[in-house]
Amino acid sequence: MSRVRKLAVVGAASASVLALTMAPASAAGTTIHSGSATGPAYSGGVVATNLGNVSVVTSLSNATCTSAIQNGTINSDGTALNVTSASFTGCTSSLGAVTVTAQSLPWTGGSVVYAPVAGGRDGTITVAHYTVGATTFGLSCVYSGTLTGDGYNPNNPNRPDTSVAQAEAKITNGTVTKQSGSFLCPATATVTAAFKLVGSGGQQLWATS
């Protein structure tokens, strides 16, 4: 597989890493709490850290990133989930390491919506307008878009990692789209990843109606 192709795959990986997420939606009727489901309403910083590797598959290959950390803010009604910084490390494919960088920050217009499903999620979470690129050996590709995923409160037995008592989000086979780069960069990639979400001071976060 060419170096450009590897780059395309990992570029997609990084883009997806940050997208905790789902399609934008109104957060009406949603309240974000700190500490417990009945704790005080919370507005402020949010830190998202991956749980396990982020996996990205394209028509050419696949890649993983071992670490992804995103920082942002949210309003207590679930609106204005904005990503202000993001970092990605340990991104590799069959040809080795790739440098991954966030671009066009902040990524604005995201949300958290309380929308419980019996035996499943507690809601959905969106990060919109994110843009991430990857560079290796002077070659680069850029992917951008919005991904859709499920959100879980800290006590939900269906959350991705039950050993972590924090709010979590999961993306399964989400799609990102190439914005620029070599013709060898695949047009799309599918992403699978999970994250824990905490307040800026490490607060446990909950979403309710």
Q: Number of structural domains, the chain?
A: 1
Q: How far apart are CA 182 and CA 140, in angstroms?
A: 7
Residue 67, phi then psi, degrees to nearest 5: -145, 135
Tokens in use for 3?
């170096």
Structural domain contains residue 72 = yes
Which tokens sit at 97?
A: 């390491």
Q: Considering the domain boundaries, does residue 206 fall inside one?
A: no
Confirm whether 104 is domain-assigned.
Answer: yes
| Chain segment 63-81, per-residue pLDDT in tens | 788 999 999 999 999 999 9
Total-model pTM: 0.85
Specify the higher pLDDT residue, 46 or 134: 46
Can you read off the two tokens belonging to residue 134? 């990857």
More confident call, 196 vs 148: 196
Q: Cα separations (Å) of 181 from 7, 11, 61, 111, 188? A: 10, 10, 17, 29, 12
Report the DSSP pairing between strands 96-97 and 107-114: unpaired
Question: pLDDT, tens digit, for every residue of 81-102?
Answer: 999 999 989 988 766 787 778 8
Give the per-residue pLDDT at 100.
78
Q: For residue 208, is it within any domain?
A: no
What does the pLDDT read at residue 24? Answer: 41
Task: State the Cα angle at 23 between 12 and 208, rounded to 5°.
Answer: 125
The predicted-structure confidence for 153-193, as pLDDT tens digits, reads as follows 999 999 999 999 999 999 888 788 999 988 878 787 777 88
The chain-wide mean pLDDT, for the chain, equals: 83
pLDDT digit string, tens, across residues 1-38: 554 444 444 444 444 444 443 334 444 599 999 999 99
Q: Is the pLDDT assigned to residue 114 strictly greater than 60?
A: yes
Tell me what pLDDT residue 12 has. Answer: 46
Answer yes or no: is 201 within a domain.
no
Residue at 209 is within a domain: no
Q: Is residue 205 a part of any domain in this protein?
A: no
The pLDDT assigned to 60 comes to: 65
One-letter amino acid for residue 124 of the chain: T
List of residues 6+ apart from 108 with CB closer than 8 A:
80, 82, 128, 129
Domain assignment present for 160: yes
Backbone phi, then psi, for 80, in 5-degree steps? 55, 45
Domain range enclosing 32: 3-196
